Structure formats: structure tokens, C-alpha cells
Structure 1
Amino acid sequence: MDTKLTLKLNQEIIEKAKIYASQKKVSLSRIIENYLNSLTNDSKNDNSIEISPFVKSMSSGKKMPTDLDYKKEYSKHLMNKYK
């Protein structure tokens, strides 16, 4: 059963949302309904996500340094590879 809901929102946000909805070919009401549903859906608990054995097997257990310059490291790798 659909019920009417009145919201007070910033006019600019409403206009942007209408444009977005138009581009996606969906009603603004449907977007808001889906958003509220995703917020209140109990079955999508973050703790319910199960990691597959394949993904677990890919983990090396090593931690990467936060200041790692991956572009520099990759460049070194390529230089050594094509010597």
C-alpha cells in the first residue's frame, strides 16, 4: 500500500534529484523509497557478509606500508623485468 509523504528539502537539492531521476528514468519517489528501504533493511547487516574461501586464500597476511609509492615500485619491477 502506497502512502503519501511530505518532505521539506532544500530547493537546489530537489532540482538536482529531479534531474538525476530523469536521467535514470525512475521516479524521485522510487529513489527515496529504495534509499529508505536500504537504511531500514535488517537483513543487510554488515556482519552477515561472508567471505568466500577463494577470497580468503588470496590473502597473504602481509600489510602494506601506508607511505608505499606503488608507482615507483612498479617502475622498478618493470626495469628489472626487461633488463
Structure 2
Amino acid sequence: MNTKLTLSLDDKIIKQAKEFAKQRNKSLSKLIEDYLGGISSKIPSNEENLPPVTKKLAGILKGKKEIDIKNDIAHFLEKKYK
């Protein structure tokens, strides 16, 4: 379903964008739709799209009822430097 969208842009930008779209045999609407579709598809929407570091950290606090950062850091450092 298509929905109308009104944008306010500088005249010079609109002229350049129309010329750009014309050179590619596309309408300005299609050009903008393709652009917005491309950038929105790069937004991580689930765990599969997360960076490796974030995936590794995901879920590490499951089951913890309370989080005591100072105590957890102290415990970590004690273990690390024993």
C-alpha cells in the first residue's frame, strides 16, 4: 500500500534529485523509497543481525536477581589477579 508523504526540501536539492532519478530511469518517489528501504534494512532487528561482541554478551545476566556492580567487579578482579 502506498501512502503519500510531503517533504520540504531546498529547491536546488529537489532539482538535483530529479535529474539523478531521471538519469536512472526512476521516479523521484521510487528513488527515495529505495534509499529509505536500504537504510532501514541495515538496522539490527533481531539477534541474528547483532555484532559478534554484542551476541557474545547477550543473555549473560539471565537468572541474576540482583546486580551489584561494585561487588561483581571486585570479585572479577580478585579472581583475575590471584
The TM-score, its normalising length taken from structure 1, stands at: 0.50
What is the distance in 1 between the residues matched to 2:15 and 2:4?
20
* Cα distance, 1:24–1:46 mapped onto 2, change above 3 Å: farther
Structure 1 residue 47 displacement after superposition: 3.8
- Coordinate RMSD, CA, aligned: 2.4
What residue number does 1:32 align with? Answer: 32
How many residue pairs get matched?
A: 48
- 2:44/2:50 contact within 8 Å kept: no
Structure 1 residue 39 displacement after superposition: 1.6
Alignment of 1:42-61 (within 5 A): 42=43, 45=49, 47=51
Which runs of no fewer than 5 residues in structure 1 stay unpaired?
A: 49-83
Structure 1 residue 8 displacement after superposition: 0.2
The TM-score, its normalising length taken from structure 2, stands at: 0.50
* Cα distance, 1:6–1:47 mapped onto 2, change above 3 Å: same
What is the distance in 2 between the residues matched to 1:17 and 1:46?
33
What is the distance in 2 between the residues matched to 1:2 and 1:34?
13
Structure 1 residue 43 displacement after superposition: 6.1
Which runs of no fewer than 5 residues in structure 2 stay unpaired?
A: 53-82
